[in-house]
Homo-oligomer: A and B are copies of this chain.
Amino acid sequence: MPRWDQLSASEMELLQTVFWSADSSRHMLADRLDCSKSKVNALAAGLIEQGLLVETGLRPSSGGRRPETLQLAQGLGVVIGVDLGATSLDVAVMTPDLRVLARHSEDADVRVGPGVVLARVRELTRELLVGCGMSPKQVIGIGMGVPGPVDFETAQLVNPPLMPDWDSFSIRDYLAEAFTAPVFVDNDVNLMALGELWRLQRGLQNFMVIKVGTGIGCGIVCHGEIYRGANGSAGDVGHICVDQNGPRCHCGNTGCVEAMAAAPAISRRAMEAAQSGESATLAELLAQNGKLTAEDVGQASRNGDATANAIIQHAGSLIGQMLAAVVNFFNPSHVFIGGGVTQIGPLFLASVRQSVYHRSLALSTRHLEIQYTPLGGRGGLIGAGALAMQESLRLQGAKP
């Protein structure tokens, strides 16, 4: 068990605040906690003595003695982050301040069902812990992202289109048999947003993370918190219509942005261009690899292939058209774009931007930043770790 079982509510609150304010001085922490600096001093001294907080570098002084900043200590234990994609599995052991101690990534197929996939998660977690010289007892919490809609309270998937066998399966109960630490599950793109929120230390209050991969989803940060909506399905932007005469989507409607601009649509268009003789470069890549991925299209584009460029611009423009509607409604300060399709290169981002700025109102876009996710491919894992820390601290802090 983590070594915080005996801590007071005030001590837990200080740990939570430190987690969300890395490298803050005692003075800044007192401000955030709305209490006196002497109280923070006393609490921090106790926690440092117990090995749960450490003093780190010194912040630049604003006159007088330079104040020491505080950080969560490794003595607290470790968190496990699991990032499950439709076709990939990523597991990491992290320190309480989300440094990755050990990480393993491999291909996976969620369609084989929860039994097989979660057995592998359990196995990888054990191996990684052994590799770090840690025991399962030192695990503070486990956070896991999954590519489907999640009921956050019960940690169950709800009608997940990509992984029907997982419907109502309790990931929490399964992992609870192997680990005593609490298990928290959320949608993968919500965790990418949580990861960025943590990286920013809540410095931005209202932003979105769009993931473009096999599907298209969106994590929303509103008033400085992850927003999940009335039924946990907020951010389901993949089925926003961008062309009423567009192709039929697996959801039953026509012209969904996901059906027209996600990775499978990009591959399909590239295959057509290769087979019709429209693009010699794509035809060559197809002959080499037996298939064409979004990354192949990106490579052809970087080699100057005009057809590949057109495919990328079309996808970016459709995604931008969807984003324009969402930006008019939500007026975020930032839109971060992540997921596999970001590997495709800068032309994709440029096309998204052009389309959003063209279609959204000046007032919504005057200060709007659209960029690739700063955490990149680590976003889902860092978010899973942040979920594990945040919710474990909250759970423990709420105990009587």
Contacts and interface: CB of A to CB of B under 8 A. Distances in A.
Nearest to A332: B230
A236 interface: yes
A310 B331 CA distance: 34
Interface string A183-213: 0000000000000000000000111000000
A333 interface: yes
Main secondary structure of the interface of A (DSSP, over half): loop
A229 B363 CA distance: 11
Interface string A334-373: 0000000000000000000000001111111011100000
Contacts of A227: 206, 222-223
A225 to B, nearest CB: 6
A227 B324 CA distance: 18
A253 B326 CA distance: 16
Given A227-B222, A253-B359, A330 B234 contact: yes
- How many monomers of this protein are in the complex? 2
Contact of A229 (B206, B234, B239, B324): B206
A297 B239 CA distance: 33
Interface residues of A, number: 50
Contacts of A364: 229, 231, 233, 236
A67 B184 CA distance: 41
A48 interface: no
Interface of A: 149, 158-159, 205-207, 218, 220, 222-223, 225, 227-237, 239-241, 243-244, 251, 253, 321-322, 324-326, 328-333, 358-364, 366-368
19 contacts: A158-B363, A222-B222, A223-B225, A228-B331, A229-B332, A230-B332, A231-B333, A231-B364, A231-B367, A232-B331, A233-B363, A234-B329, A234-B330, A236-B329, A236-B364, A237-B328, A241-B321, A241-B324, A253-B359
